[in-house]
């Protein structure tokens, strides 16, 4: 067991900060401004390259990114892929969608509604023609 780091294997805290920052659509420059005047784009870049990040910086970053500090400290791509790999098998989803209506019946309903609207429009146009005929006499 290593005494230099308290992070589990394969967790890169700087990369996690970068992932969360990018998910929010923040550029490094904008993130540096939010971190404070002693921060620059270059310093943010160096922070994101660090495998382990100091707890006080993680706490500051987590407040700005609005994510729990534990998410930055413990997010692991490997664990995520294991969860996904163990949840879905053979490319099929464990959730199956069951349609509660017959799509053809819905199509026929829409066709019938369209036909009724067309007939109403036609009747309205016929009324207009009759009114015009009466006014011209």
13-87: CATH class: mainly alpha
- Over residues 2-27, the mean pLDDT reads 76
Provide the 3-class DSSP secondary structure of residue 125: helix
State pTM to two decimals.
0.53
49 Cβ contact partners less than 8 Å away, ≥ 6 residues apart: 14
What are the distances in angstroms from CA 97 to CA 86, 93, 94, 100, 104? 20, 10, 10, 9, 18
Span 57-109, pLDDT tens digits = 999 999 998 888 888 888 776 666 565 566 555 555 555 667 777 888 888 99
Question: Cα separation of 105 and 129, whole Å?
Answer: 36
The structural domains of the chain, with segments of one domain joined by +, span 13-87, 99-137
Span 29-49, pLDDT tens digits = 999 999 999 999 999 999 999
Span 97-131, pLDDT tens digits = 677 778 888 889 999 999 999 999 999 999 999 99
């Amino acid at each position: 067991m290593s005494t230099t780091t308290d992070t589990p294997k394969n967790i890169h805290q700087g990369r996690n900060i970068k992932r969360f920052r990018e998910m929010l659509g923040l550029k490094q420059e904008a993130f540096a401004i939010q971190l404070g005047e002693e921060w620059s784009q270059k310093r943010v870049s160096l922070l994101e390259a660090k495998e382990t990040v100091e707890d006080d910086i993680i706490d500051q970053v987590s407040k700005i990114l609005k994510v729990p500090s534990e998410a930055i400290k413990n997010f692991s791509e490997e664990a995520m892929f294991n969860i996904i790999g163990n949840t879905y098998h053979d490319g099929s989803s464990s959730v199956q969608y069951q349609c509660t209506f017959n799509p053809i019946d819905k199509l026929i309903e829409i066709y019938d509604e369209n036909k009724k609207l067309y007939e109403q429009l036609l009747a309205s146009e016929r009324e207009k023609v009759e009114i015009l005929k009466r006014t011209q006499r």
